[in-house]
Structure 1
Amino acid sequence: MKLLVRNLDRSTTEDELGELFKAFGNVQSCNLVIDQVSGNSKGFGFVEMPKVGEAKAAIKNLNNTTIGSNQVRVKKAD
């Protein structure tokens, strides 16, 4: 299941994002969206978790939690 993670602190790395989700199961991939001009994070990214149950647990536990200085939103990507 592909998850959308929004409102990330701009200093969050892909490794840090992946580690958050690994607490709930296997992470297949983790990608931050990077601004091509500045090279900085745009504040959102995608995490893919192959098992639906683990992905749902991650959504339930991480949505609306504070990571860094921001309250993140996690939902299934369309």
Structure 2
Amino acid sequence: MKLLIRNLDRATTQDELRTLFEGYGVVQSCTIVIDPATQSSKGFGFIEMPKAGDAKAATINLNGHTLGANKIRVKKAEDKADEKAQSAEKPSE
């Protein structure tokens, strides 16, 4: 299951983020999104955990957790295909 982590402190490293989530299970991948122009964090990232139960436990326990100077927000990441389908279903005004 892929999770979206928002409101990351710009100084948070991928290792710190991975370590935090590994407390709830195996982390398959960990990515903090970097601004190519400044080479600094954009303040969000993604975690992939192979077991949905572990990912759900991490989401429940870490949403609102303070990491660095910020309270992070954790939720299930939406698939890009799902986002396109949802926007196509909404009538334009």
Which structure has greater strand proportion? 1
Question: In 1, distance between residues paired with 2:42 and 2:62?
Answer: 19
Hey, what does 1:54 align to over in structure 2?
54
SS in 2 for 1:58: helix
Which structure has greater helix proportion? 2
- Mark the runs of 5 or more structure 2 residues left unpaired by the alignment: 79-93
Question: In 2, distance between residues paired with 1:51 and 1:71?
Answer: 24
Question: In 2, distance between residues paired with 1:63 and 1:3?
Answer: 11
What is the one-letter code of the residue matched to 1:65? H
**Deviation of 1:65 (Å):** 1.2
The percent of aligned pairs where both chains have the same amino acid is 64
- TM-score scaled to structure 2, two decimals? 0.83
Spell out, residue by residue over 1:14-66, the C-alpha distance to the aligned partner (whole angstroms, 9 max, x if none): 01100000000000000000000000000000000000000000000000111
Hey, what does 1:15 align to over in structure 2?
15
Structure showing greater Rg? 2
When the two chains are superposed, the root-mean-square deviation of aligned CA atoms in Å is 0.4
